[in-house]
Structure formats: structure tokens, C-alpha cells
Structure 1
Amino acid sequence: MDRADLRSRVGAALSRFLAGQRSRMEAIDPEALTPVIDTIERFLSGGKRLRPAFAYWGYRGAGGVDADAAVAAFASLELVQGLALIHDDVMDGSDTRRGEPSVHRRFAAAHRSAGWHGSPDAFGTAAAILCGDLCMVWSDELLHTSGLDPAAIARLRPQFDEMRTEVTVGQYLDVQTQAAALSTTARASLVARFKSGKYTIERPLLMGAAAADAGPDVLAAYSGYGLPLGEAFQLRDDVLGVFGDPAVTGKPAGDDLREGKRTYLVAAAMEAIDGTDRKDLERHLGDPDLDAAGVDRLRGIIDGSGALARTEARIADLTANALAALDTATLEPEAKAVLTALAEAATRRQV
């Protein structure tokens, strides 16, 4: 089965589950709640399905047998991803996601259109937070109603719980790092691992391995692969957040600079520069009104400092370490081949 087939099966599992949630919501108050389920369905309709893919192929690599129940169980990870992205956009004040209005902006616009009382932006924020909360609640429900053997669910449950704690802690570390202006590469690497890396790759892999009742050698190989690859994935995202093409990323150019993200890329620049360049980067990082010329100026400082090259080198080193870890355990050959390809897909997205 190729990755496109798996994406299709994950999408079908989500569609079936959300159809049931639609019936529940519309039975309560169709006028008020249909826009909620519409928004969540639309938001979850896109994406690369990376987390279910890592879980599924981790499961297959450890000897798990293909089954729709396993695909449905791992599709629950898309609901966790939905929570993380919806709340991340609220915290960052992002206007768009995947080329469309972010969830809080969508609900604010609906408030304005309807002429309701109070602040449209406050309503949009509240609605988005609650949509994210629903995604978190439903991730549990989809996992437990997937049809996967209860013993397998019991084995993977600790990984699932740990993952959801880690991504929430990682989000806090991210906002605290920005607030405290902590610009070191060590801090940025910590945030990258917990905000994105562990819940994108390592924990899904370990969930799949646990579902297949894998031995300690497989678990160790998956952590050795997942931890560095997860960090590399986030570093690639950070590069795209500064140098990416909006037509590819779905977000305005330079948004991470306007939001003041203290990423590895920015920290590497801070560690390498002084004088006027450092003053300009410190002054304008986090300026929500930064214009295109300002974005270009900061990009030039970062690139000229060697930080972009340093970040690319770290991505390459982390990816090589991850791939080497796959050779430390005996894995099902097709799954190993797919995990190798997924490493390339996760870290070599185009700028």
C-alpha cells in the first residue's frame, strides 16, 4: 500500500467518525452547532496525514497486520493535530492556515456577518478554543471506538497520553520562550522536540509499535529514529516560516518573524551577529506590522549570519542519525522502506 492509499483510508475513517459527531451536534441545536462541525470537518480535510502514517508504518514494521480498525485508531492522531493547529493559530494570532482563514478568524467573520453583540474577535477566539477542545475529546473517542483490539489499545494508551501531555507542554514552552526572549539554540531545540517533533514522529511510532506488541529493540530503534527526525521536521518548518513560499506554506511570508518566534534558525543568527544587524533583528523580531521590506531585511541578516546554512546542516545531521537508527532492529522490509521515504518527505519539503 502506498502513502496515497493510506491518506485516503485515514480520511475515510475521519469522515465516518465525524458524520456520527454531526448527528449528535445537530440533534442538540442544528442552527448553532452545524457551523462548528462544518468548520472542524473542513479543517481536518487537508494535511499530509504524517502522524497516522508514522503510527501505521511503525505498527506494520513491528509485525502488525493491516486492518481498517488500526487505520481508524491511528486516525485519532489527526484530531490531536487539529487541536494543536487550531490553538496554535489562536496563540499566534494567525490569519490563515493552509491558505484559508484560520478557525478563530472564520468565527469572528461569522459574528460580524450576523451582527451579533459583543466583540467578534473575542467570539472567534472562544469558538476556536472550543473547537480545539472538541478535537481533543474526540481523539479519545475515535481511538476507543476504532474497533482495534482492546488489548492493543491498552498497550498503546500510555504513549497516546504521554504524547498529548508533551505537545501541550511544548506549546507552553514555545510561548514562554518568546515572552522571555530566550534566544539560544539549546532552548530552541528543546521547544522543537516537545512542541512538534515528539508528537509528530516518535510517539506515533511508539503507539504503532505498542499496538503490535513490539519488543524493546524495536522500541529503541523507533525512538532513535523518531527523536532526531522529529526535531529535523520542526527545523524544516522553521526555515519555511521565514523563507517559505506562501503558495506552498499557506501562510503569509515572514509570519514567524512577525510573531517573534525564537526558533533554532533565529537563535543561530543571534549567536553569530552583533552590532547593527543584531540591533535590527532584536528590534524588529515580533513586530506585527513588519512590512515586506522589513521581512527581506531580517531574512538577509539571518542568511548572512550563516544561520540558514547551520540549520540546514543540522537538519541533514539529524536526518542521517534517524535513518541509521532504523538499521538497529529487524523491521518488516516494506515498512522500513516507507519509513525511509517518510524521513525524506518530512525534512526535504521545498522552500
Structure 2
Amino acid sequence: MLIRLAVMVLLFICSATAALAVRQKVKMSVQPHVDTTLPSIVIISPIVNRGPVTLAKGAKLAVKGIATDESGVASVTVNGKEVTIDDQGAFAADVMLNPGQSQIVVAAFDANGNKSQQVITLNRSGSVPLADNVNGSGQGKNYALLIGINGYKNIQPLTSAINDVNTVTQVLRDDYGFVTTVLIDAMATRSGIARELARIRKELNPEDRLLIYYAGHGFHDKETDTSYWLPVDADQNEVTEWLPTRDVTDELHRCKARQVLIVSDSCYAGTISRSFNPNLAGEGSRNNYLQKMMGKPSRVLIASGGNEPVADGATGHSPFADAFVKALTSPFDTQFTAEELLTRQIKESVAGHSAQTPQYKVIHNSGHDGGDFVFVKLR
């Protein structure tokens, strides 16, 4: 009898323990998921991948970037002030800087209250001195607008355009003293590109130089002989959303800058303008040649190819961008023209490793008057 009673008690304890375990398991299964993932912040401008940034001029700095999170980005602040963000998480804000060292704090908050932030340390100093001609007279500045698009919304994405732009930006800024503006992916809409072109054009002085670098899809309409850059939101069936390159050259015609160079790494890039073969030899010494080229207005194009498709990069950079960066990093001289850069260091390298042949051309009806874009390496 006692044994039977003990067995019954043991069975009761086991069943109670099992029931408790089931209840705990059910309770755990209905616990709500707690989101602890921090939002991601990518700073597009200024470029900050080499520590403190030295500004070339001005007290106002445009801070641009993209914030993303799986649960959605609720808000973004720059130095404690909330800024507007679009559906893709892109944001922009103007920040005023005091002379000397400053810090900019960019914070992103998701819908569950998680916060991440990036701190940018900058040093506002005087203007970067530039040798505007071989005698060193004149105080014009170098500006660059760089556009790179990988994440096309409606057409085939690219793999290396953004990496190309970031690397070229770094070389232009660090080695040549360019003041750079970068538009990548969500910021590179048709209206965004046109707006930045117009803004930079208004800031330029007659002694300045402007370089525009485009890495993205291109298209040439043979029936109308019109070439296009395709913004990030372009639809292949809606031409009105594309950016005609004639719109870009129209901006150049109104541009005050002495020299403008477009570097286009896209399909059919060579169709932007008609061909032109400059006389590289010039008259007299090479210094004389550089003086003449720097003193005359120029509107020229370096195209990664002609009326042909060009290669995207499978190993980090496109064939053209790889050659362009190497040529700028280790040029044959400290001062050189865009035409020299192409013919001496880029053309053979790209044509020898791909099916495309880079070209140098004058952009007609845009203010060209016999000069060339002259690079001056600072270090």
C-alpha cells in the first residue's frame, strides 16, 4: 500500500513538473522580440576616412549621409538638431564651424529607441594654396563634383561605381587640393545632380577649375544623337527621368570657371561631344605650353570609352577608374594637362586590358577657347 502511494506521489510530481515546463516554454514563446540592433550611418560628405579633415575654405559645411535600420529610422540629428530624411534615409544639413578644431555629431534613432552616432572631427584652416599656373600667380581653386551609382532602383545595379568615386575623391582632395562634393546612390537623382551642378556653378570664380566625375549607367539614342546619364531612380522605359548630357554642357556654358573637365566612366561616354585632336607639342618649351593651356578657357572631356559599352569593376574598380587613380597618384610630372594624362598614362592601360578605348575630346558650344584642364600635384 505504501509503495503504491509513493508511486502515485511520484507520478503527480513528474506531471506537475512537466506542466510547469510547458507553461514556461509557452510563456517564453510569446515574449515579444526585443530589437537591439543599432541604426547604420554612412557619412557621404565630408570624406572622413583618414582621420581629421582639413577644410579648404568657409565657415559652412554641408554634412550629407544615409541612415538605415531594419525597423525603420525614426529621426536623425546633426549636433542635436533634427534634420529631414527621405524614404531612403538620406539626410543633409549645413553646419557652421568656428576656426580651429570642431566636432560634428550625427545621431540616428530607430523606431524602437535604439541610437547610434558618428563623431566627425574637423579642422577649419585657411585656403589650400594652389599654383594656378607654372609661374605660381593667381589664386583660383579646384572644385570637384563626383557622382557614383551602384544601387539603381529599376535597372541593373553596378558593383564598383561608389568605390571608384570614393577613391578618386580621396586622391583629388589629398593630392591635388580639390574641394569635393560627392553624390552616391540615393542622393544621385536627376534633380539632385542638377541642383548640385547649379549650386557649384554659382560658387565658382573666373580663376577656378571644376572637375565633374560620373560613374554610372549611360545611354546613347542613335535616332536623336542624344546621350544620357542615368540617375539612381531612372526607369529604362521613361526617358524623361534620364539626365541628358546636353543639360550638363549647358551648365558649363554658363559656368564662370576658367577650366572644366568632365570625366565620364559610363557606357557611350564618348558621345557627349565631337572629337578633337589637340597639338600636344605646342610652341617652345613644355613650361610655355602649360602656361598657355592654363591661361585659356577650356571645356574638355575624358571618356572611359567611345560609342560603346564599357566594363564595370569586378575586383573593386572599373578598368578605367583603376588606371585613372594610378595615373593621378603617380603622374609623370607634378603639372600636366588632361590630354597628357590620358595619352601618356591611361589610354594604353585601359585599351590593353578591356574592350574599350578611352578618349579625350573638346566639349563644343560650352565655352572652350583652346586651353586644357591643368592638374597641379601638391604632394
TM-score norm. by structure 2 comes to 0.26
Higher helix share: 1
Higher strand share: 2
TM-score norm. by structure 1 comes to 0.27
| CA radius of gyration, larger in | 2
Tell which has more relative contact order, 1 or 2 (C-alpha 8 A, sep 6+): 1
